[in-house]
Structure 1
């Protein structure tokens, strides 16, 4: 058994000596050599070179020319736009503005007629509505009667004054007569006194002349009092005259007020414009101050809310171009009328209070009023319509 195993090992050793050494890298080397060998099938073919940019441009010369032209036009347009746009300030926060107001009745009553309709244009002085006039006509007639009565009172007092002046003249004449009689009585009394002293006259005569003198003195005093009383009566009558004149003035004022109230029954347009939101109708009972319609005057403008950084060079009188969103085909020109001295938030109902809490800076808007040279007449333009103004500031 041992001899057989020894024989087998001897055979393997002899086999190993007879075989050449094994090279593990031989397959890789053969594959590399195979790759390095030239391919006789493709030896005559050379790789094609890509065309250059110049050749491609030369091949497509029409497209190249067109592209160059478009590029040049774009550059020129961009430069021109930049040079022109930097001279203008524009905003889309702009609207048509007007001082619209409510047309209300000045007096109360039933509406007897409405002479306009919705969105109708009217001229200055046009009658818009009519209120029943019967009550106001009666009030006017009553005021007229009071005026006539006051005038009659004045005429009566004037006649009394004229009569009293005659009585004053009569009292003065009587006073003059009494003064003359008093003078004569004084002279008589003086002569009687001298005669008594000389013994040529009687005491009885002296007493009679003294009595006459006292009577004339009393008569003279009464006459002077009559003149004073008659003169004072004229003052009383003149005071009554002034009172009557005041009554006349009051009656005339009431008449004027009654005529005004009568005129207020006819509601007219204070200026040219359009009637909107008509609420009054025939037969409606309205009170004083009740609105019947809204009114938009023809005097309208543009209020543009520019950023505060855009109004640096903006001044009144600068030209502006305006485009209306509703009518983009209409070209409208105008000019800056004024720049509001303050931002819009300052004059709002609830202005911002930046002195409390945290603060975040926000660019404010400043309203700018732009007046239009000529509004289009073939379209309807009113407050609230959006516009885009462009103001030339440089």
Structure 2
């Protein structure tokens, strides 16, 4: 048996320490225990920690993005430096001289020579109206003119006839005066003869009666001459009325001719037609709307708030986007500003003399001329909606 006591053997005396076994030098060291995983919420970084340094390109990109964001916010809210140099509105439309075509005479439409949305030139025939009645009126007016001219010619002939009669009356006056002179000579001789008794008193009385008759004949001839003169004046005075009647008849003829010409409806200007509202055989009256012509000359009218027009002036540049053209951008210039707010041209003007008055910003119309040489401008049509921006720099009133 071994000399070493077992663990179960009770010791009666002091127990001796157990001997430490010898470890050979060539044996490997015992493995170290695993280190615990650091917890970011518990294990805080040291106080001298710094994020990794960024490159110069990254810093420049961040600064540029920040500046762009700031400038976008300032531009959207129209804050300095973007405040005041540009005024915008979406209350703007393309305008043009839309011409409504209506007949000046009534009648049945005999022929329509154009189609919907066709291009027409000034003077081109678009429709015709039955002209038989108007041709008859022209012929009647021509006959009336001829009758009045004949009356005027008769007046001229009557004047010449009266003037010839006046010459005959002048000759009658001369004859009566000669008879008066002869009667006066006979009277002088009769006075001498009756004094010495060569002739009787009866012959003297006959001579005296002949003198008185000759004198009465002179006065009668002069009265006839005065009547003839008045007859000539009457003809002359009446001629003025006949000349006026001739001019009136000619005016009636011109009116009838105008009505006849108006049976042919022609295009007043170059442009494009609207939808045709009349067909062959339709009865139209004067003023009936048949169709419309839209010339190519268009412009833009933008309705700005009155507070936006402070710095606007004629000649300032303007840009506008057209909704119908996919937002195509066009250029123009301010041509004129309305002389009054839109409410002043309304049929029923607002009455603000009440206790519940609410201030409403008024609108001022601004007419913008479209710059030439823009291809997209050929597609503009009156009534299109646009968004306008006007550069008001340089227009501030001092």
TM-score interval for Structure 1 and Structure 2 normalised by the shorter chain: 0.7 to 0.9
**What is the distance in 2 between the residues matched to 1:179 and 1:45?**
165
What secondary structure does 2:294 align onto?
strand
Q: Which residue in 2 is equivalent to 1:252?
A: 250
Are residues 1:186 and 2:181 paired?
no
What secondary structure does 1:267 align onto?
strand
**What is the distance in 2 between the residues matched to 1:205 and 1:325?**
125
- The equivalences for 1:1-394 within 5 A come to 42=35, 49=45, 54-55=51-52, 57=54, 63-64=58-59, 66-71=61-66, 83=81, 86-328=84-326, 330-374=328-372, 376=374, 379-394=378-393
Once the two structures are TM-superposed, the CA of residue 159 in structure 1 deviates from its matched residue by 1.0
Once the two structures are TM-superposed, the CA of residue 140 in structure 1 deviates from its matched residue by 0.6
**What is the distance in 1 between the residues matched to 2:345 and 2:236?**
59
Query: Cα–Cα, structure 1 residues 376 and 287, in superposed 2: closer, same or farther, change >3 Å?
Result: farther
**What is the distance in 2 between the residues matched to 1:94 and 1:106?**
35
Once the two structures are TM-superposed, the CA of residue 337 in structure 1 deviates from its matched residue by 2.1
The TM-score, its normalising length taken from structure 1, stands at 0.80
Q: Which ranges in structure 2 are unaligned for 5 or more consecutive residues?
A: 1-32, 394-398
Q: Which residue in 2 is equivalent to 1:30?
A: none
Q: Which residue in 2 is equivalent to 1:7?
A: none
Query: Cα–Cα, structure 1 residues 292 and 125, in superposed 2: closer, same or farther, change >3 Å?
Result: same
Kept in 1: contact 2:166–2:229 (CA 8 A): yes
Once the two structures are TM-superposed, the CA of residue 175 in structure 1 deviates from its matched residue by 0.7
Once the two structures are TM-superposed, the CA of residue 68 in structure 1 deviates from its matched residue by 4.2
Calculate the aligned-residue CA RMSD, in Å: 3.0
**What is the distance in 2 between the residues matched to 1:205 and 1:188?**
11
Q: Which ranges in structure 1 are unaligned for 5 or more consecutive residues?
A: 1-39
Query: Cα–Cα, structure 1 residues 53 and 277, in superposed 2: closer, same or farther, change >3 Å?
Result: farther
What secondary structure does 1:291 align onto?
coil
Kept in 2: contact 1:332–1:375 (CA 8 A): no
Aligned length: 353
Larger helix fraction of residues: 1
